[in-house]
Amino acid sequence: MEKLDQIGLIAYLAKKVGPNNKLGRKAVQKFVHIAASLGKIPTGYRFSFYTYGPYSRELAADLEVAEAIDGIVSCQNPGTTAFDIKAGDAADSIIKNAKNYLENQEKSLNGIFDEFGNFTARTLELYSTILFLRDEEPNIANSLDDLKKRVNQLKPQYSDAEFNQAYQHLKRIEHRFH
């Protein structure tokens, strides 16, 4: 995976989702993870599981690169400590540099943005957690109860109702990305 394509993906995400959503750094992590896991979009990032769900250190470093070259900008949310990511002045030229990659993935990426573009970081984290466990622990992937139990062990803050809703939603839409 070329670095230009990875940075292009970040700028594209900021451009597509940034204007309509509070897109913080963790939300970017979740979007990229969901794009890779559910959307089957090659991103080149490997994710590990932390308290805040699936997370890639390399993606965190690339966010800094994207910001350093004005592909994205961070703006503080008034009255909070949180920062939102928006497309920067150089976003269009960075996206252009990754044109072939983004065109190949456009349909799936836009499908992900359509489904999840308005989700909060908290909700994205639940989806991302379910997908991570499904990929990494195939022995529980096909059992609703086992998967729910594992999510509850790692993320007890989500209710059964929230899990069920996310699980059913994923079941309904996953065929679109196969």
Contact residues toward other proteins (CB under 8 A) are 1, 3, 24-27, 36, 40-44, 46, 48-52, 57-58, 60-61, 63-65, 68-69, 76, 80-83, 121-122, 125, 132-133, 136-137, 150, 153-157
CB of 154 to other proteins, least distance (A): 6
Q: Which is nearer to other proteins, 69 or 170 (CB)?
A: 69
Closest CA to 166 of 50, 30, 17: 30
Question: Beta partners for 76?
Answer: 83
Closer to other proteins by CB, 16 or 25: give it.
25
Shortest Å, Cβ 164 to other proteins: 20
CA distance linking residue 61 with residue 71, whole number of Å: 14
Q: Which is nearer to other proteins, 41 or 166 (CB)?
A: 41
Within 10 angstroms of residue 81's Cβ, the number of other Cβ atoms is 6
> Least CB distance from residue 63 to other proteins, whole Å?
8
> Residue 16 — φ and ψ, nearest 5°?
-80, -45
Evaluated on CA atoms 79, 22, 93, 10, the torsion sign reads: positive
Return the number of the residue (6 or 15) whose C-beta is nearest other proteins: 6
Tokens 């996310």 sit at which residue?
A: 166
Q: How far is the CB of 125 from other proteins (least distance, A)?
A: 6
Of 115 and 125, which has the nearer Cβ to other proteins?
125
The SS3 call for residue 28 is helix
Give the closest residue to 21 by CA, choosing from 88, 126, 108, 113.
Answer: 113
> Least CB distance from residue 61 to other proteins, whole Å?
4
